Amino acid sequence: MEDMLFYDRMQFAFTITFHYLFPQLTMGLSLMIVYFKWKFLRTKIDKYNDAAKFWMKIFALNFAMGVVTGIPMEFQFGTNWAKFSELTGGIIGQTLAMEGMFSFFLESSFLGLFIFGEKLLGHKLHFVTGFLVFLGSWASGYLIIATHSWMQHPVGYEILENGRFVLNNFGALFSNPWLMPSYLHNQLASLITSSFVVAAIGAFYLLNEKHNEFGKLFVKTGVVFGLVSSVLVAFPTGDWAAKNVVKHQPVTFAAMEGIFETQEGGAEIVLIGQPNMVEKKLDNKIAVPNVLSFLTYQRWDAEIKGLNEFDKKDYPTNIPGLYYAYHIMVGLGTIFIGLMLVAAVQLYRKKLYKTKWILWALMLMLPFPYIANTTGWYTAELGRQPWLVYNLLRTADGASPTVSAGNTLFTLLGFIGLYLLLGLLFLMLAGKIIHKGPELSKH
């Protein structure tokens, strides 16, 4: 049973991790494409329109990959997690169906019009199609996170005698206190990824001295969007989301911060340390006294509960994994703010395009927002364990009892091989688009 559950979780973790590499770029990039098109309508300068069309090619490629990798992930609800689907389908089916019926079709329909319909529609209607693609992608994120938020903090439900969850308050799904902090934090994190990608490609062009005009535009746009989103993802949205965890999942918060014993009279914030699960402490830690209490409760002497306050059966099942995922996310987020701030200062001083070390840093940072987004989701998912629906349905009770560990391992290996090929194909196609660069408008 433990092997079966492990492989079920590994397969879902692998497929969703690979899948989310693509939507995290498209959601943020859709807003930046709308910005480029809006700038063109205001200024009538062709490079903004050319930039919008260039990035829509990257968007379309990511969107296609997101669709291809998203479908197998959803089938796992029926194969590996049939019991979970049977018990909670009456609730999570609502938001997931809405995401497919409304958001996905809105996004995909108008994506085609944006790519192929500029001459037919004219620039103003072309802008509207781009805006509707943005609306569809952000609505899709909202409905997915509404589903996720219900699993983290279930609301508006009742449990029937047969154990099934049914919805008795549809509005509660969308007024869930977990939803808005998670949604805003996620969307801004997506905008960080797109900002770094846009800035990285711009830096690549400038360092190679090709497409210089677009290189400058991409770096400038990426740095401005990146600085704003990097700050907002930390505060207020990250702070808001963390306070939700403190309030509704205090055992998760203790594990995230590596607090094994309750800290009275002020809790330190740990910058570096390794969880020692045998001795129930952090090894080699570097910490700043009382800061965690202040950030959490706005009081330097506030008590923070440790893991010792909770029943061991409710501990997150992988405390070191949760601790490291959370600290990697926060650490990278801090680096993003620092780099974008330095780049913005140089941009203001009109020296950014000639400051090679910053251009190199922007280009080489390209993978790290993906890592930060992934570890952010790992923090949320590992933090909820051992529950599928927090405090109501354990992960072990949601797995399909008839699917063997061997079957799941076999299909997992198949997914790894197939996704490796898909990933290489994506990199090849994206590299071809980037190497060719934006196409200039013809007059």
SS (H, E, C) 279-334: CCEEEEEEEECCHHHHHHHCCCCCCECCHHHCCHHHCCCCHHHHHHHHHHHHHHHH
Q: Which residues of 253-282 are buried (b: 16+ CB within 10 A; e: fewer)?
A: bbbbbbbbeebeebbbbbeebebeeeeeeb
- Domain map (residue ranges) of the chain: 177-259+309-381, 263-304
- Let me know the angle formed at the C-alpha of 133 by 369 and 64, rounded to the nearest 5 degrees: 65
Residue 174, both tokens: 């969308």
Residue 120 C-beta-side C-alpha neighbours within 13 Å: 7
- DSSP letter string, 27-75: HHHHHHHHHHHHHHHHH--HHHHHHHHHHHHHHHHHHHHHHHHHHHHHH
Nearby residues of 222 by Cβ (< 8 Å), 6 or more positions away: 195, 196, 197, 198, 199, 200, 202, 362
End-to-end CA distance of the chain: 67
Q: What pLDDT score was predicted for residue 266?
A: 87
Residue with tokens 């952010």: 376
Give SS3 for 164.
coil
- Cα–Cα distance, 241 to 180 (Å, whole number): 9
Residue 112, both tokens: 């085609």
Enumerate the β-bridge partners of residue 158.
Answer: 166
Which contiguous run of DSSP H or E holds residue 388? strand 387-389
Q: What pLDDT score was predicted for residue 440?
A: 85
pLDDT digits (tens, 9 = 90+) for 275-332: 999 999 999 999 999 999 999 999 999 999 999 999 999 999 999 999 999 999 999 9
Q: What pLDDT score was predicted for residue 443?
A: 53
Residue 333 C-beta-side C-alpha neighbours within 13 Å: 28
Q: What pLDDT score was predicted for residue 241?
A: 96
Q: How far is CA 105 from the centre of its chain?
A: 21
Q: How far is CA 407 from the centre of its chain?
A: 30
Give SS3 for 200.
helix
Q: What pLDDT score was predicted for residue 373?
A: 98
What does each C-alpha distance from 245 to 22, 239, 241, 395 come to in angstroms?
A: 27, 10, 7, 19
Stretches in the chain below the pLDDT threshold 50: none
Residue 279, both tokens: 């001795």
Q: What pLDDT score was predicted for residue 369?
A: 98
Q: In this structure, are residues 234 and 335 in contact, taking their beta carbons and an 8 Å threshold? A: no
What does each C-alpha distance from 409 to 12, 73, 420 come to in angstroms?
A: 11, 15, 16
Q: In this structure, are residues 237 and 181 in contact, taking their beta carbons and an 8 Å threshold? A: yes
Q: In this structure, are residues 157 and 117 in contact, taking their beta carbons and an 8 Å threshold? A: no
Q: What pLDDT score was predicted for residue 24?
A: 96
Which contiguous run of DSSP H or E holds residue 103? none
